[in-house]
Amino acid sequence: MPSFDIASKVDLQTLDNAVNTVKKEITNRYDFKGSHVEIELNKKDLVLNIEVESDMKLGQVLDVLVSKTMRQGLDANIYDQSKEPYQSGKVFKKEIPVRNGIKQEDAKKIVKLIKDSGLKVQAAIMDDIVRVTGKKIDDLQEVIQKMKESNLGIPLQYVNMKS
């Protein structure tokens, strides 16, 4: 029976390269000369810590971060920017968790979308992936198309296609 997996994995090396190119660009930019900017990726916890002098510079760093991440081939939705920045003394700090894996509530949304589509496929949640099986490969490809059309706010990859 044909099947494939819906996953949300982040390649750590590519993410590290993106963060390093952001650091390099920020140190070379004229508007950041002499200002305090610190960008650090905690690979163990998958959290990006940013420290800057002002709220405006934080916005500029985030813009550079998103553009460099997309140039590296990663989805911009890997960053969970829902947390607000906070001020600590003279600097603004922001912790940005990196989304790796599909959370349980997101997996349930994906399964609900698949079931609501009316296609003759089965979706099963397996840890941090969703496995979709069906009798026809065309149905599976239609599921992939529906997932791409629906904006869930998380980066999805379609892997492990078996026929």
| Confidence tier at 64 by pLDDT (50, 70, 90) | very high
Tell me, yes or no, if the two domains 3-8+101-162 and 12-97 fold the same way.
yes
% of the chain beyond a pLDDT of 70: 100
Question: How confident is the model at residue 133, as a pLDDT?
Answer: 93
Question: Each residue of 73-114: pLDDT tens digit?
Answer: 998 889 988 889 998 888 999 999 999 889 999 999 999 999
Contacts 24+ apart (CB under 8 A), 105-113: 106/8, 106/152, 106/154, 109/152, 110/6, 110/147, 110/152, 113/146, 113/147, 113/150
In 3D, which of 161, 115, 108, 107 has the Cα closest to residue 138?
161
Domain boundaries, the chain: 3-8+101-162, 12-97
pLDDT of residue 32: 87
CATH label, 3-8+101-162, candidates 3.90.1170.50, 3.30.980.10, 3.30.70.860, 3.40.50.300: 3.30.70.860
Contacts of 39 (CB under 8 A, 6+ apart): 19, 22, 23, 26, 48, 49, 50, 51, 61, 65
- Residues 122-146 have pLDDT tens digits of 999 998 899 999 999 999 999 999 9
**CATH superfamily, region 12-97:** YajQ-like, domain 2 (3.30.70.990)
- DSSP strand pairing (3-7 vs 157-162): antiparallel
Q: What is the CA radius of gyration of the chain?
A: 19
Residue 133, strand partner residues: 3, 122
